[in-house]
Chains A and B, each alone.
Chain A
Amino acid sequence: MTKRQNAIEVDNLVKVYQTKNRGPLRAVDGISFSVRQGEIFGLLGPNGAGKSTTIKILTTLVLPTSGSARILGHDVVTQPLEVRRQICVVVQENAIELYLSVRNNFRTFGKFHGLSTREVELRCDRVSELFGLREHLGEKGSDLSGGLKRRVQVAKMFLIHKPIVFLDEATTGMDTFNKRATVAAIKEESRKGRTVILTTHMLDEAEELCASLAIVNHGKVIAGGSTDQVKSLGLKLLYLTLSFDKVPERTLKAIQRANPVKIEVRGATVEVTVREEDVALKILNTAKRLGSLKQFEITSASLEDAFVEMIDKKAGAP
């Protein structure tokens, strides 16, 4: 992949806020990453990690203190208007015109993005169908529930065809069905070639959607790459679930001798966490050899495990 095919390039980005009580705060501290065109990229991290500030810089809401960021080749500081012409953004805050109906929310959004009234009406029907908003088109923004407001906000992004979509905690407050519809719509847009950058607290959602991601903490990228690479960057944990009719005492002692990370007995099931494949196989063989093993399952670490592991490690947790 050459550099020309990168939709977003972020290089050593820094944002320092001057706070009244705590002096300068480095919300973003030298972040670098790139996103290929048509890719779904996740920016993950705990609260206050610097994700939203990074998104605010990329969407021209906030100026960086130093470093550079380019959207489809346009610099966010020197060419903000060109950048805005390439992007659409679901900001972290609920953003809806409370005094206007859902239909007029779509109309004004369409007008701002250069759609004719006819185009808005056509797309409005399609988008309201997709997000289950048809019956709410006449309702005022102020009369909608929190989840519905968020749905309108996200639906607007699919009304227009900008090459880059930023979704800052887009599915927050949505119910399962709408979350699924949103995830499906995001995937579909990515297949059509739109680049999607999302921040989310829902790591299962990130794991399902993102081709690559960066984990951010204290304003720095602590891990980045493809989702599989990032998962494997966490401690390589494996989970064994061993089911017995009744857990034999000598099997339990043998498992303990293998020195696993964690062992938990739940009725007739033993859950074992280990770091290496060899240890997992050794425990499995022992359990089989000593008898009465009914069922077993081995799973690798999820993105959430890797995330927790990395954040804890950086925070100095044991």
Chain B
Amino acid sequence: MREVLAVVYREYLIRRTSPLWLFFDMAVPLLYLLMFGVAFDKALGAGLSLEGESIQYNQFFLAGVLSMTCFGSAINQSYGFFIDRDNGIFYEFLTYPMTRSQFLMGKILFQCLMSVVQCALTLVLAVAVLDIAIQWEYLPLIVAGVVMGTAGWFFFLAIFAFLIRRNDTFNTAINVAYFVLIFLSTTFYPIDQAPAWLRLSSFLNPLTWHTDTLRFLTVGIGAGGTVLFEAVCFGAFLLVSFWLAVRTLQRAV
């Protein structure tokens, strides 16, 4: 545990050096919800019809903001590998008395703390400003969902950060992947009325699994059985990504 906490301490010291970065980290999900969410909510007027029920767009979009927050947080942390590699410190880290998995766990523990704070602020804003009803009784599960989402995407992206040596290539790949994953998922819109190919793609997309789980936990939208299946799939995605990330890190030099 000491090794994991040492990584967390290092990440904390680095993040503390840039208050502006910290501010924007916290502000982006709030801005997304306030600007994009509110605008679409007004544009759609009567709201969305889901499984025969009418719901406000803000209510639907909240889980999308939370899952995007986890994804963005994971991108930030995985991009840090390139900075560490450019500084040379990455290679020194790998000679420190800790396992590769402890190194990754320390990185993700810090980033999960950041994601939880970001998501907590988003939920408070959703309740206080947008009057969205949150299922507070599921709060521990919501926190677990945020942690799993951040970790899953971080381990997944870390595999590519170790395999791709150029940060510009990584940036491009991540931008394309982000775009595709988000629009082939239930982040921005319900997928029920979409063409079959889009529904199939969305069904196979871990971002859909994560978003649907958070949506069910926060505002109660979705069928319990399907969401449970999606949550299990995302758990498997997390474990496989972790295993692959550790293996790739062994050969990252």
Contact of B98 among A84, A107, A141 (CB under 8 A): A84
Q: Which of A31-89 contact B (CB under 8 A)?
A: 56, 59-63, 81, 84-85, 87-89
B96 interface hit (Cβ, 8 Å): yes
Give A84-122 interface residues, CB cut-off 8 Å to B: 84-85, 87-89, 91, 93-100, 104, 107-108, 111-114
Within 8 A of A (CB), among B93-141: 93-99
Is the Cβ of A95 less than 8 Å from the Cβ of B94?
no
B168 contacts A by Cβ under 8 Å = no
Is B20 an interface residue when CB atoms closer than 8 A count as contact? no
Considering the chains assembled together, what is the distance between the CA atoms of A59 and B96 in angstroms?
Answer: 9
B6-26 near A? 1/0 per residue, CB < 8 Å: 110110011001100000000
B97 and A113 contact, CB distance less than 8 A: yes
Residues from chain B with Cβ under 8 Å of A99 in the complex: 14, 17-18
Q: Which chain A positions have C-beta within 8 A of B166?
A: none
The answer to whether A114 and B97 have CB atoms under 8 Å apart is yes
CA distance A59 to B253 in the complex (A): 12
Residues from 34 to 52 in B contacting A, C-beta threshold 8 Å: none
Closest to A168 in B: B91
Count of B interface residues, CB-CB < 8 Å: 26
Q: Are A95 and B91 in contact (CB under 8 A)?
A: yes
Contacts of B88 in A (CB 8 A): 91, 93-96
Tell me whether B2 and A114 are in contact (CB under 8 A). Answer: yes
Query: A87 — nearest CB in chain B belongs to which residue?
Result: B95
Question: Would A91 and B91 count as touching, CB distance under 8 A?
Answer: yes
CB-CB under 8 A from B253, the residues of chain A are 56, 61-62
Residues of A within 8 A of B13 (CB): 100, 104, 107-108
Most B-side CB within 10 Å, residue of A91, A112, A153: A112
A97 and B10 CA atoms in complex are apart in Å by 9
B219 vs chain A, min Cβ distance (A): 39
Chain B residues near A166: list those with CB within 8 A.
Answer: 95
Q: Are A97 and B98 in contact (CB under 8 A)?
A: no
Please encode chain B, from 69 to 108, with 1 for each CB lying within 8 Å of some chain A CB and 0 for all others.
0000000000000000001110111111111000000000
Residues of B within 8 A of A153 (CB): 92
Residue ID in chain B nearest A110 by CB atoms: B6
Whether the Cβ atoms of A60 and B94 lie closer than 8 Å is: yes
Query: Which A residues are CB-close (under 8 A) to B89?
Result: 95-97
From A114, which residue of chain B is reached at the shortest CB distance?
B2
Query: Are B14 and A61 interface neighbours, CB within 8 A?
Result: no
Q: Judging by beta carbons under 8 Å apart, are A89 and B95 in contact?
A: yes
Residues of B within 8 A of A141 (CB): 87
Residues on the A chain within 8 Å of B91, using CB: 61, 91, 93, 95
Residue numbers in B under 8 Å from A61 (CB-CB):
91, 94-95, 253
B95 and A113 within 8 A (CB): no
Do B9 and A111 touch across chains, with their CB atoms under 8 A apart?
yes
How near does chain B come to A154, taking the closest CB pair, in angstroms? 12
A108 touches B10 (CB 8 A): yes
In the complex, are the beta carbons of A112 and B96 less than 8 A apart? yes
B250 contacts A by Cβ under 8 Å: yes
The CA of A60 and the CA of B94, in the complex, are separated in Å by 8
User: Quick check: B92 and A84 within 8 Å, CB to CB?
Assistant: no
- Contact: B17 with A89, CB < 8 Å? no
Minimum Cβ distance to chain B for residue A73 (Å)? 16
Q: Nearest Cβ in chain A — how far from B165, in angstroms?
A: 13
The answer to whether A95 and B99 touch across the interface, beta carbons within 8 angstroms, is: no
Instruction: Tell me the minimal C-beta distance from B127 to chain A in angstroms.
Output: 36
Closest to A82 in B: B97
CB distance from B228 to the nearest CB of A (A): 38
Closest chain A residue to B2, Cβ basis: A114
Closest to B252 in A: A61
Shortest C-beta distance, A198 to chain B (Å), equals: 15
Q: Is the CB of B14 within 8 A of A100?
A: yes
Closest chain B CB from A194 CB (angstroms): 16
Among B3, B13, B97: residue with most chain A CB under 10 A: B97
Contact A111 B10, CB 8 Å, known A63-B251, A97-B87, A99-B18: yes
- Shortest distance between the CB of B2 and any CB in chain A (Å): 6
Q: Are B6 and A84 in contact (CB under 8 A)?
A: no
- Shortest Cβ gap from B76 to chain A (Å): 14
In this complex, what residue of B is CB-closest to A89?
B95
The distance in angstroms between the C-alpha atoms of A84 and B97, with both chains bound, is 5
A107 to B9, CA, bound (A): 10
Distance, CA A100 to CA B87, complexed state (A)? 12
Q: A54 to B10: give the CA distance in the assembly, Å.
A: 29
| Nearest opposing residue in chain B for A115, CB measure | B6
Question: Which 9 A-B pairs have CB atoms at the shortest separation, nearest pair first?
Answer: A93-B88, A95-B88, A95-B92, A89-B95, A111-B6, A85-B97, A108-B10, A84-B97, A61-B253
Q: List 29 A-B contacts (CB under 8 A).
A: A59-B95, A60-B94, A60-B95, A61-B95, A61-B253, A62-B253, A63-B251, A81-B97, A84-B98, A85-B97, A87-B95, A89-B92, A91-B88, A91-B91, A91-B92, A95-B87, A99-B17, A100-B13, A100-B14, A107-B13, A108-B9, A108-B10, A108-B13, A111-B6, A112-B97, A113-B96, A114-B2, A114-B97, A153-B92
